[in-house]
Amino acid sequence: MTIEVLNNGFHTLENTYPVSMSEQDMQYAIKPAALLNFLQDMGAKNIDGTDFGRQELLDRGLAWFLVRYRIEFDNYPLGINEIRIQTENRGALRQTAYRDFEAFSPTGERLLRATTSWLMVNLNSKSLVNIEQEFPEVHKFEKRSDDLILRKIKSPAEFDSEKLFHVRYDDLDMNGHVNNTVYMTWAMESLDYDFHIKHTLKALDIYYKHEVKYGEDIISCSKIFENTSNHVIKNASTDEDVCLISAEWVNN
């Protein structure tokens, strides 16, 4: 069931998602890409039917592009058959819009907090849109004392492993670009079996830099230092960094 509530004047949406067997790994934890898919779906549900919805923006030649994530896990979602997710539109500041998330177990235990930043792009000119100017009625972003911080991610000078992937049709979203959840799958696949078995995610930082299209080859590179894995997704043809991911882990 979907529930809409108002929170401090901002539109907030809550929804409970069933967790299927295909969305869990061999330890019954929700796969990171599946978790991102839940968050992405909640964000879309929250804006669809508003002036900022996907179809409403496309009619004006505009589109949203996700840029950054910061996710902190209180307890990584493990062994649950459903997950309740809340999202809040935090408003915009010049060219950047912000959206927050929280997720809860069936018993009400908070599992994670997340914050994201988004840009709006003119699809014809490929230029960034000043959201406050284009939509004067938009809520203005106001910082709170307990806000998560979107962190900068540095690309390592060298890597422990590299893995090649080919972009499939199934990897694409409605805009014809690789869906943001696929980058997480590529990143996690660069870590070996033993690392996954012995570690659980504690925090994630993601920076989506450039789009990837059908038929391209990408290289997923990773470097592990203590309990942090740093990931760079590269375009194999241009050697351009298209996504940076930093994952913090705890030992099982």
The string of pLDDT tens digits covering residues 23-50 is: 999 999 999 999 999 999 999 888 876 7
CA distance 152 to 115: 14
User: Residue 11 has what pLDDT?
Assistant: 64
- Mean pLDDT score across all residues of the chain: 92
> Which stretches does DSSP call E strand in 95-152?
96-104, 110-122
For residue 7, name the pLDDT band (cuts at 50, 70, 90). Answer: low
Distance CA 236, CA 220 (A): 9
Give DSSP secondary structure letters for 173-241: -TTSBB-HHHHHHHHHHTS-HHHHHHEEEEEEEEEE-S--BTT-EEEEEEEEETTEEEEEEEETTT--E
- Is the pLDDT assigned to residue 9 strictly greater than 80? no
Q: Which of 65, 95, 32, 96 is nearest to 176 (CA)?
A: 65
pLDDT of residue 10: 58
Is the Cβ–Cβ distance between 235 and 211 less than 8 Å? Answer: no
Count of positions (residues) in the chain: 252
pLDDT above 50 (res 229): yes
Reported as a pLDDT band with limits 50, 70 and 90, residue 6 is: very low
Q: What's the confidence (pLDDT) of residue 139?
A: 87
Residue 1, pLDDT above cutoff 70: no
pLDDT at 65 over 80: yes
Handedness of CA 212, 112, 16, 80 (dihedral sign): positive
Could you give the CA distance from residue 41 to residue 23 in angstroms, rounded to a whole number? 15
Q: Are 116 and 94 in contact (CB under 8 A)?
A: no
Contact yes or no for 220/233 (Cβ under 8 A): yes
DSSP symbol at 74: S
pLDDT, mean of residues 105-121: 97
Which H or E run includes 37? helix 32-47
Residue pair 203/73 in contact (Cβ under 8 Å)? The answer is yes
